[in-house]
Amino acid sequence: MPINYDTDLNPAQAAAVLHESGPLLVIAGAGSGKTRTIVYRLARLVEQGTQPENILLLTFTRKASQEMLARASHLLHRGLSQASGGTFHSFAYSQLRRFANFAGYGNGFTIMDRSDATGLVKEARERLALGKGDKAFPKRDTLLEIVSKARNKERDVDQVVAAEYIHLLPYAEDLSRIAGEYAALKKAHALLDYDDLLFELERLLVAEPQVLAQVTARWRHVMVDEYQDTNLVQARLVKLLAGEERNVCAVGDDAQSIYAFRGANVANILAFGQTFPGAAIVRLEQNYRSTQPILDLTNRILENAREKYDKHLFTERADGALPEVVRTISDASQARAVMEKLSELRRDHALHEIAVLFRAGFQSYPLELELNKLGVPFQKFGGIRFTEAAHIKDVLAFLRLAVNPADLSAWRRALELVRGIGPKTALAVAQAAITGDGATLAKHAKKRPALAEILALIERLRAERPEPRRALDLAIGFYTPILMELHPDDHPRRQQGLDELMGLSAPYRDLESFLADVSLENPGEEEQAGREDALVLSTIHSAKGLEWPAVMIIDLVEDRFPSRRALQKPEDLDEERRLMYVACTRARDRLVLFVPESIYIRHLERHEPVRPSPFVLELPRECYQEVREGFGGRLSAVPGPGERPARLDASLAPRRDEPGQSATPVNGAAARMGFCTHKIYGRGKIIEHIAPDKYRVNFQNFGLKVIVAQYLEMEDA
């Protein structure tokens, strides 16, 4: 039975599927049936007489190509085993094998896996005698990562280091030498890593016209999935494979190009029309995932992109709840607000149907703490779990010892941070500390000054018993040089996690309660595998390609989303905008955006006001329902346009009185120089009333602040 393309496809999908010949670019908006379009086009080509062996389907995972070919086979009621489908790398490998003599590999070559490649990088470093005895020198995994990035982005190693590994800049010259030695070793031993496969195939096709002619004669139609994720060499390979007939169909979405850190180049899809003049462009804009209110918001996010293919997502699901923008008092209270919203969402959705997304892994730490406290199961994807991070455990060990000097495991963890102390010595020193064996402690401390410093820190914490925030400040200050030595490759990322830990400690007044909460363990990842009652926590990069009925996105403020580095370059800000678009389009029915009004700044030891993400500021008010957190932690909807007026600009920011405002002594308790309490700043003395609804308050650790009344709890006179 012939396939009915008119009834099975919407008009845009049909236009892409029925396109006859020549270059075709399909801009497939999120949730627009991209895979369905590719499957039907595969079937259409065969139905129109193209032999399966003349079709090449390039994808980014083998599973994707296998699924597409299987679905096309089902449509045609015949096998498509002769069609070629797979990743760029697997295709390159097969062609280098096929034309080994032309490629200069007549005697064979070996493909290295990651383990082989890291071993060879290590050998290159050792041959050059670089970094010997220098614990801060990048480890071999990071060396390979830098070399691979430089290759994929086709940039010099020192350029990659300056842009993405600035803390390793002193080693840039050495890293360049290692990259050169690594390349020489590969060539000498006929070894190729995954990156080499693509470049070697390109070299072969350019250098050997007869090989290129055979390849393009074999594959008359080339289809490429996720074209927005191609790097520079992949795009050049596509152009070579298209040949003179130029029967290439690229499918992708410029708005979902979020992997620049891996080498993906959004310019490939944006410049498709210049690469293939006369190319047809079809836009898939009908969405089959989200409600129209969610799509209205995501359309607005893309409006201010510098370079893009214009598209307007729409759906037949016209009804649905407005997305919500929840403005919380701080990043600390944000986690509690997420829990309140979670309780509401669970009335309509199972736990596994709800996802919390974030820009960076450390941003979920406060939420993980709340989930652990309440025993809510969760699974985390992308970024390490709060309770599993080595640097978090290291710092907490000092605090544990301040509370319980007999904590053997904490002693071991703290002591093994000292160079030269292994498990055996750590056990001996720990036992001496627990039993009060001063002579043994003195003997070991004399040999290792760092040990004496650790013992002094623990003794100080035990004697002073400071509040958790102060205790962490002391512990992190001591630990930071150790962190840089233990983790030279990624200590800036880990430092962000420690700063987040400091923020978590702000509401606590004693070490015992703080440690009790952060030590509560959520069931392990393995234990939760396959469970259907676990909340999903995920970085946005890990969430691409997935969807949930309800999605919450947290930390939508400057410096966090977009990241601080992205604010410095227009192209990086564009990618952050696309990341926001990807996050929002994961939602089917409910979308909730969280915007803290202040975040904890560790070096200032306090919360400071912060600007909302520009992606939120750009949204028209009619696109969302605004919700604010009140002093008691309750969330309340704010009236929208045309409804009862409400003050929407309440801020925790200290500022001068606006012109025209009167400052008068407050009546009642305040007139008697009364006191109040604020959720972040603590207890303060009321100085004056600023009509109509603000107070000037002097907080002991923060000075004068002007605060809206709803955020203050007044003490009885």
Residues annotated in a binding site for ATP:
28-35
DSSP state of 189: T
Q: Does residue 267 contact residue 53 with C-beta atoms inside 8 Å?
A: no
Residues, the chain: 717
**What contacts 104, CB < 8 A, 6 or more positions away?**
none
Helical residues (DSSP H) of 154-253, grouped into ranges = 157-164, 172-188, 194-207, 209-218, 232-242
Q: Does residue 402 contact residue 461 with C-beta atoms inside 8 Å?
A: yes
Backbone angles phi, psi at 661, to 5 degrees: -85, 145
The closest of 545, 614, 558 to 259, measured between CA atoms, is 545
Residue 197: exposure state from Cβ atoms within 10 A (0-12, 13-18, ≥19) = buried
- DSSP string spanning 497-547? HHHHHHHHHTT-SSHHHHHHHHHPPPPPHHHHTT-SS-EEEEEHHHHTT--
Distance CA 676, CA 686 (A): 7
Distance CA 361, CA 596 (A): 17
Distance CA 365, CA 498 (A): 10
Distance CA 200, CA 538 (A): 36
Binding residues: 28-35
Distance CA 657, CA 294 (A): 38
CA-angle at 197, arms to 192 and 201, nearest 5°: 125
Distance CA 434, CA 428 (A): 10
Radius of gyration of the chain (CA): 30
Q: Does residue 561 contact residue 359 with C-beta atoms inside 8 Å?
A: yes
Q: Does residue 27 contact residue 309 with C-beta atoms inside 8 Å?
A: yes
Q: Which helix (H) or strand (E) holds 345?
A: helix 331-345
CA-angle at 198, arms to 197 and 200, nearest 5°: 65
**Structure tokens, 527:** 């234990």
Query: What pairing do the DSSP bridges indicate for beta strands 84-87 and 55-59?
Result: parallel
DSSP state of 22: S
Query: What pairing do the DSSP bridges indicate for beta strands 587-596 and 324-328?
Result: parallel
Q: Does residue 686 contact residue 668 with C-beta atoms inside 8 Å?
A: no
Distance CA 285, CA 299 (A): 11
